[in-house]
Amino acid sequence: MPETAATPSAPFEPCHWLAVAVPAPAHSALAQTLTYAHSAPLPAGTLVRAPLGQREVPGVVWGLADAPDAALAAHIKPLACAFTSLPPLDENWRQLIAFTARYYQRALGEVALAALPPQLRTLDEAQMARRLAKLAKQDAVAQGPATPAARPSPTPQQAAALAQIAQGAGPFLLHGVTGSGKTEVYMRAAEAVLAQDAAAQVLVLAPEINLTPQLQARLAARFAPLLGAGAVVAMHSGLTPAQRLSAWLAAHTQRARIVLGTRMAVLASMPALRLIVVDEEHDPSYKQQEGARYSARDLAVYRARLQGAKVILGSATPSLESWHASRPDGGKYQRLVMPSRVGSGAGAGAGGAAALPLVRRVDMSRQPRGTVIAAPLLQAITERVGRGEQSLILLNRRGWAPVLHCANCGWKSECPHCSAFRVFHRADRSLRCHHCGLAQPVPRACPACGNADITPIGRGTEQLEERLAALLQTARRPDGQPARIARMDADTTRLKGALAQQLAHVHDGSVDVLVGTQMIAKGHDFRRVTLVAALNPDTALFSSDFRAPERLFALLMQAAGRAGRDAAYSQASGQGSEMWVQTEYPAHPLFEALKRHDYPGFAASQLAERQAAGLPPYAHLALLRAESRTLPAAIAFLQDAAAALQADPALAHWAAHVTCYPAVPAAMQRLAGMERAQMLLESPRRAALQGLLAGWQAALHALRARHKAVLRWAIDVDPLSF
């Protein structure tokens, strides 16, 4: 009998059934995992590649699947391959992903795969094994010096905060004014967990790492010498795909001990995570605005509890949600307060104190019409130039003018694709839409009537820079030279390295007056700034967005925090640092609170308003959003969705506690050629809202199939923009 007859007969091989999370197409988003066959029983968390339809997609093994009956088994496809060289993603990570998918109403596979670095999904097994074998030094994104930076001994208020962090379970809300030394608290808290556990990992989240390179530099200086190069890694979207993969692998394999990342890093695999820090926890950029619209801040709190880690949320102006959650009577968070700047405590001698700036309001209703910078403010800036101090001038509008206008026929530079005006940029004589990016040369004459005299209305940073140069023409620096004015906004920092270069100019003192958008208010440590001015903050006072006052207050407090950080500059002349606000409503309670640097007072009044209006944090919100080429099509989908909700007896139990508001156009109705509508759901009970959203999904997917004109729809849980 010929031996060769023995063929590798597949049916007799041992076969294992696996539940795999794969990025399923939208219409089947309800299926959380799909069943696949494999020759070995892979552990949960193994990264695999699996056939799906005509494609092959990456997936994560979620567990064993029930054995299918014989008829079904024939249809189950085998996995294409399994990445067994990569340690499986652990139980905690899988639970975090499952929670995120459930809470934000997305498919499990979508969230799981979105949490992995894109390059990981395209490597083959051999490439993966090679990547893992190389633990290379040059991968360290944040290199530090060889010797540890000197650690200052904690101030009494830092010591008190650290003692509570050491003793308590948290979550902690660290409310510290700018310059109170929050970063030092984060680093000491990190040192404590690293000392306790030889393998411990720490995650530090920041809103935008690129805007604040100091934080990265400080962490690297403190921890790289201690833990070795490669132990401190950065994780954000500004990295190349290869760098992102490196950072992710370092965190997953526990080579990285400190991860500094933007919101995406909250979903990174960190098996030995012991501490999460969320710096500037109030920052809206922690909320993802597409796909799974998660809040990295909220997930950080969930993840910390899940993984037995501590979590510190830090801010000078906490979100009202976190402030409320840390109320002394019955809040879930522990509130830690650091009310004074480092060096300004009682007993600090003259010269050492870094006091908070004096807030001065200019009543613009009493200024001559068309005033750009009121005379007393201009005088104050001029004096600072003369003393060699710096001023920051904040204007929340880039470009030359927000709109071009024809006085003859009324034409305005509207964007054809958005409910917005295109902004006039004089540098390249373009009209640019800041929402969809459409850029065109400025027309020579009015496109509607041919009038050659079209004029800019209003003022942006580009124009302000030029106006200031004219207004400060006679101002002289101590060395007799004219004032040097610079501008920093999204336009001037577009090129790689431009931001770092501009920041360096401010630091080395070659800039006297810096004009810019809110970008200049971020956590920069400008030593010689003694004056900050907000030129036109009023629009936010009357916005339809209920969070607008909270955001404005945070921005102004943050801007104020840039002034007088170094006592030597604000006090050498006997003149303290100042924050100027130009407003038509100087008596507005928001500015009154700002004048007192009174965040708690501002928060209390806002919370009272929120409670009276039934808004977060006293109610929980979700939006159903829809986009279509026409507004009626988007509205019709939402109306049918509401009808489906009311008609479903299975949802009645939840619906009784949820208010469903009528479908309306979004605040920004037209964006990039899409008409956008939304429907608000509100409930005092989070569980009711969650139950309703989960039960509604099937109907929404079915509805979408009938509403072909609806090109996109999404549920936004705990929305931040309306």
Residues annotated within the binding site for Zn(2+) are: 406, 409, 415, 418, 433, 436, 446, 449
By a kind-dependent CB cut-off of 5 to 8 A, residue 180 interacts, out of ligand ADP, Zn ion, none, with: ligand ADP
Q: Which is nearer to ligand ADP, 152 or 416 (CB)?
A: 152
Q: Does 676 bind ligand ADP (CB under 6 A)?
A: no
Q: How far is the CB of 155 from ligand ADP (least distance, A)?
A: 5
In 3D space, the residue among 265, 91, 238 whose CA is nearest the CA of residue 250 turns out to be: 265
Asked if 396 is part of the footprint of ligand ADP (rule: CB under 6 A), the reply reads no
CA atoms within 13 A on the CB side of 453: 3
> Both tokens of residue 232?
């401190």
Write out the binding residues for ligand ADP, residues 404-463 only, by CB under 6 A. Answer: none
What span, in angstroms and rounded, lies between the C-alpha atoms of 710 and 629?
8
Longest dimension (CA), the chain: 109
Residues in the chain: 722
Chain positions 444 to 463 lying near Zn ion, rule: CB under 5 A, are: 446, 448-449, 451
Local structure of 91: helix, strand or coil: helix
Tell me if 281 contacts ligand ADP by CB under 6 A: no
Using CB under 6 A, count the residues that bind ligand ADP.
Answer: 13
Q: Which of 59, 179, 318, 456 binds ligand ADP (CB under 6 A)?
A: 179
Instruction: Please choose which of ligand ADP, Zn ion, none residue 183 contacts, taking the beta carbon within 5 to 8 angstroms, the exact cut-off set by kind.
Output: ligand ADP
Q: Is 176 among the residues that bind ligand ADP (CB under 6 A)?
A: yes
Sign of CA dihedral 252, 257, 259, 265: positive
Q: What Rg do the C-alpha atoms of the chain give, in angstroms?
A: 28
Q: In angstroms, what is the minimal distance from the CB of 194 to ligand ADP? A: 19
Task: Answer yes or no: are the C-beta atoms of 228 and 100 closer than 8 Å.
Answer: no
Q: Nearest approach, Cβ of 82 to Zn ion (angstroms)?
A: 46
Let me know: does 244 contact 117? Beta carbons within 8 Å: yes
Return the H-helix or E-strand segment holding 252. helix 241-252
Which tokens is 138 given?
A: 């040059």
Shortest distance (Å) from residue 547 CB to ligand ADP: 23
Should residue 183 be labelled a site residue for ligand ADP when binding is judged by CB under 6 A? yes
CA distance 306 to 333: 16
Residues 6+ apart with CB under 8 A from 651: 645, 692, 695, 696
Q: Please tell me whether residue 606 binds ligand ADP under the rule CB under 6 A.
A: no
Q: Given the rule CB under 6 A, which of 65-73, 149-157, 201-209, 481-489 is the region that contacts ligand ADP?
A: 149-157
Q: Is-cis flag, bond preceding 617, omega within 30? A: yes
Does position 704 interact with ligand ADP (CB under 6 A)? The reply is no
Residue 123 binding ligand ADP, by CB under 6 A: no
Rounded CA gap, 316 and 339, in Å? 9
Q: Is 340 in the site for ligand ADP (CB under 6 A)?
A: no
Q: Which does 154 bind (CB under 5 to 8 A by kind): Zn ion, ligand ADP, none?
A: ligand ADP
Q: Give the side-chain half-sphere CA count within 13 A for 246.
A: 19
Single residue of 33, 46, 119, 178 touching ligand ADP by CB under 6 A: 178
Question: Which token pair is 41?
Answer: 């029983």
Q: Is 318 in the site for ligand ADP (CB under 6 A)?
A: no
In the complex, minimum distance from the CB of residue 318 to ligand ADP, in angstroms, rounded to a whole number: 13
- Closest to 275 in 3D by CA, of 149, 116, 162: 162
Q: Which of 181, 207, 402, 564 binds ligand ADP (CB under 6 A)?
A: 181
Per DSSP, the residues of 589-638 read: HHHHHHHTT-HHHHHHHHHHHHHHHT-TTSSEEEEEEEEESSHHHHHHHH
Q: Which stretch binds ligand ADP (CB under 6 A): 175-183, 620-628, 658-666, 676-684?
A: 175-183
Residue selected from 41, 145, 148, 152 as contacting ligand ADP according to rule CB under 6 A = 152
CA dist 620 and 623 (Å) reads 11
Q: Indicate which of Zn ion, ligand ADP, none lies near residue 418 (CB less than 5 to 8 Å, by partner kind).
A: Zn ion
Select the span of 150-158, 258-266, 285-293, 633-641 touching ligand ADP (CB under 6 A).
Answer: 150-158
Annotated binding site: 406, 409, 415, 418, 433, 436, 446, 449
**Residue 214 or 408 having the CB closest to ligand ADP:** 214
| Neighbour tally for 314: CB within 10 Å | 25
Out of 185, 206, 276, 433, the only residue in the binding site for Zn ion (CB under 5 A) is 433
Listed in sequence order, the residues at least 6 apart from 14 whose beta carbon sits closer than 8 Å to its beta carbon are: 39, 40
Binding flag, residue 182, ligand ADP (CB under 6 A): yes
- Contact between 555 and ligand ADP by CB under 6 A: the answer reads no
Residue 448 interacts with which of ligand ADP, Zn ion, none, CB < 5 to 8 Å by class: Zn ion
Q: How far is CA 592 from the centre of its chain?
A: 28
- Locate 396 and state its tokens: 């929340």
Where on the chain is the footprint of ligand ADP (CB under 6 A)? 152, 154-155, 158, 176, 178-184, 342
Where on the chain is the footprint of Zn ion (CB under 5 A)? 406, 408-409, 411, 415, 417-418, 433, 435-436, 438, 446, 448-449, 451
